[in-house]
Amino acid sequence: MESKEISRAVIKRLPRYYRYLGELLESGVERISSNELSDRMQVTASQIRQDLNNFGGFGQQGYGYNVKHLHAEIGKILGLDKMYHMIIIGAGNLGQALANYAQFEKWGFKVTGIFDVNPVLRGVSVRNVPIRMVEELPEYLKENETHIAALTLPKEHAREMAELVVANGVKAIWNFAHTDLKLPDDVVVESVHLSESLMQLSYNMSNYKKTGKNHSKQKKSF
Ligand code: NAI
């Protein structure tokens, strides 16, 4: 496939296409038109066609999209055709919830290590991965190839731990701590803030009360 610059807005939409196509695959659907996909995803058909044309137009006139092929191609674009090793730093409520979510592994993200400072957690296993103490982290990283570190610890310690894993070769941080990280240019950081999604819900609720328009339900260009 020809490689060209794709806008961030399109990239942001790809996981959603990937998820829907995965569901279609699981239910045995082999092909789908942009109109049918539009109905399911509540996105305009023209947006779907425009987005997917960015990748060389996987669809064929009169046939629609081959679900398996499109799913695989979007997976490749998202880098999901590989297996990543991910460690979790901070084995509290959120860290253990992430470690317990088996679906990540299906998408190619395998939790290979969990670290904390609380000695009470030493040796406790989450989905067969034992929680280790952070003192063991540098040694662990030398011996175990690790692609991603998820930070699910208090924000006061997030920078220090991010710097430690980066110093030991980790190039991608999935940051849940509410703090901005300043890391070298070759380190990729993705921060997640569930509170922003909740605020969006709150906005939609109050807007619905005022206007009677439900923005979460409208078919839209997302
Ligand atoms: P928690 O208190 O249940 O867990 C935090 C864990 O981090 C504890 O087990 C603690 O011993 C450990 N810890 C402390 N210092 C550490 C260090 N230097 N290295 C390794 N582990 C260390 O807290 P919870 O609810 O799991 O939240 C964790 C973090 O995630 C907090 O910063 C919280 O604000 C954030 N959070 C973010 C969300 C988001 O949407 N971005 C949603 C929920 C929580």
Q: Any known ligand binding at 64?
A: no
Given the DSSP bridges, would you call strands 109-116 and 129-133 parallel, antiparallel or unpaired? Answer: parallel
Any atom of ligand 1 within 6 Å of the Cβ of 193:
yes
Per-residue pLDDT of the chain (222 residues; tens, 9 = 90+): 445 677 888 888 899 999 999 999 999 999 998 888 888 888 898 888 888 887 766 666 677 888 999 899 899 989 998 999 999 999 999 999 999 999 999 889 999 999 999 999 998 999 999 999 999 999 999 999 999 999 999 999 999 999 999 999 999 999 999 999 999 999 999 999 999 999 999 999 998 888 888 877 655 555
What's this model's pTM, rounded to 2 decimal places? 0.87
In 3-state terms the chain splits into helix, strand, coil percentages (rounded to 5) of 45, 20, 35
C-alpha of residue 193 to centroid of ligand 1, in Å: 13
CA distance 106 to 103: 5
Distance from C-alpha of 98 to C-alpha of 152, rounded to nearest angstrom: 9
Ligand 1 near 152 CB (within 6 A):
yes
- Residue 95 assigned ligand-binding role: yes
User: Angle at Cα 7 formed by Cα 46 and Cα 67, nearest 5°?
Assistant: 50
